[in-house]
Amino acid sequence: MKKNFFIIIFFVFFIFPNNSSAYSNDPKQFITEIVNEAKKILVKTNSKEFKTKKLSKIAMKTVDIIGVAKYTLGHHRKKLNDDQTQEYFALFEKYFLKVFAERLTDYSEPKIEVLSAEVANPKYTIVKSLLLATDKKPEVKIDWRVYTKNPDKPLIRDLIIEGLSLARAEREQFDSIIKSNNGDVTKLFVSLKEFINK
Amino acid sequence: MLRKFVYITAFAFLLQIGSAIAGSTGSESLKKGSSQSSAPECFEGVSRAVFSINHALDKVIFEPVAKGYRAIPHPIRKGTGNAVDNLRSLLTFSNNILQGNFSGAANTAGRFVINTTVGILGIFDPADNFFGLEDQGKEDFGQTIGYWGASSGCYFVLPILGPTTIRDSIGLVGNVFLDPVYQITHNTEVNAGIGNQSYSEHNYYYYRGTGAVDFRAKNIESFDTLEETSIDLYASVKSLYLQNRNKKIMNSQSSIETQDDSDWEEIDTN
């Protein structure tokens, strides 16, 4: 009896959590698994809070948030000291998760087909997918920029919707805010805080 | 006659400006990504003010109209959108030819003939469904002069019409000359009962207006989400507009071809 108890504990705490959080290292399969997981969350019966919480967890595991944060700030990050850099990363993570959840929670039971993967270079693979049309919305092509520098742990770095990079749009927003404040990066922090607390 | 003179003068004037801004890039091949997807501001303060007015007009007029249009049954909306796209393909055909894309022109012409006849004035799309002629995307004169090598010039926002660049504003004027629908509706005069009233000018504006409402209705949620998730909506729209124009000029559906990886390389070196 005691032996069985330890076996159960072992499975519950060590085996199952690892299985549930491990994604494939093949970029196409990696995206397919994320899409399937998101589909289960984005059902009509789930509350927005539940969807936000669950989607944020997926994003934390599958998106290179620090990489995207660096890209989004571009050359301005050279102006930051170490403390400011850490503050920026923390703010960006909250900002990113809020944007990510808000963009996705409006979709109820989306029908997404993962179509193919194309290796751009050793560091990046582009995975192509299609959000199928509904009565209200047209079909949308979604490409996922997957960072494959560590082939055992692919990470998402960008979503390219109908050929338009969301990371690039974010980068240009941040650049515009900084430039309109005479290059003061801390003004971007203020805008990020306002958005997070909105 | 006077109107034509004004158009031609404006067109010639804008081409001069365009050439100056385009510089010597005419023979250069298009570059990927960042350099082509960004443009300096012509007059940012004015553009932001016009953008705010357009945004307010959208909230008060265009979005409610688009939502009303959404209430129409889907098959009717789809047929309307198809018919508008079918007429719009005539402008695409002219620009396919100007870009030397003759296979694209043949595809566009084939689709137009089949959809106008078998597809009952373009309401249905048998060209794609039964003849394998897929829609290869819209072309306009702004894309054509971009394809020829002209750079975008600076960015600004037009009242009602929205974001544009010097190159694309030249394109808007060029479209007037190249669009058979515009020419037919504006040059068919009704004199002493001779002529056809159904080709009169206002039909052109109905057609363009319907296309705009159809587009807005298809993107209600996308616009709302963009608005909710942007900390600088003006900059977001500018980025997406320029990226979209760049992608269309490159005539490519591949993200590997249209996206610039060098920006991403930089983050791995620091």
pLDDT at B238 over 70: yes
Residue B201: closest CA among B186, B191, B188, B187: B186
Task: Give dist(CA B101, CA B252) in Å, integer.
Answer: 13
Q: B264, B265, B266, B268: which to substitute to probe chain A, counting the most A Cβ within 10 Å?
A: B264
Task: Give dist(CA A169, CA B240) in Å, integer.
Answer: 6
Give the pLDDT band of residue B185 (cuts 50, 70, 90). confident
pLDDT at B246 over 80: yes
Closest partner CB to A71 (pick from B229, B243, B267)? B267
**Which of A39-43, A149-153, B24-28, B61-65 is least confident?**
B24-28
In the predicted model, what is the mean pLDDT of residues B157-168? 96
* Chain A residues touching B263 at Cβ < 8 A: 71, 74, 168, 171
pLDDT in tens, B39-83: 999 999 999 999 999 999 999 999 999 999 999 999 999 999 999
- Cβ of A140: how many Cβ atoms within 10 Å? 15
Using only the alpha carbons of chain B, give its radius of gyration: 20
| Burial of B197: CB neighbours in 10 Å, binned 0-12, 13-18, 19+ | exposed
Looking at chain A, which residue has its C-alpha nearest residue B69? A136
Chain centroid to Cα B172, Å, comes to: 9
pLDDT at B236 over 90: yes
Can you tell me the ipTM of this complex?
A: 0.85
What pairs with residue B165 in β-bridges? B155
Task: Give dist(CA A98, CA B62) in Å, integer.
Answer: 28
* Chain A residues touching B157 at Cβ < 8 A: none
* Model confidence, pTM: 0.84
Q: Which two tokens stand for residue B109?
A: 């012409």
Q: Give CA separation, A124 vs A116, B34, B261, in Å.
A: 14, 18, 9
Local structure of A112: helix, strand or coil: strand
Dmax over CA atoms of chain B, in Å, equals 76
- Match 């039964």 to its residue by tokens: B130
Task: Give dist(CA B257, CA B253) in Å, integer.
Answer: 8
Instruction: Provide the pLDDT for residue B8.
Output: 40
The one-letter code for the residue type at A105 is T
- Cβ of B52: how many Cβ atoms within 10 Å? 13
Are B255 and A99 in contact (CB < 8 Å)? Answer: no
- Match 């850490």 to its residue by tokens: A86
What pairs with residue B157 in β-bridges? B163
User: Is residue A154 within 8 Å of A55, Cβ to Cβ?
Assistant: no
Are A163 and B238 in contact (CB < 8 Å)? Answer: no
Q: B70, B134, B231: which to substitute to probe chain A, counting the most A Cβ within 10 Å?
A: B231
Instruction: Provide the pLDDT for residue B191.
Output: 55
Q: Which two tokens stand for residue A79?
A: 């102006």
pLDDT in tens, A60-100: 999 999 999 999 999 999 999 999 999 999 999 999 999 98
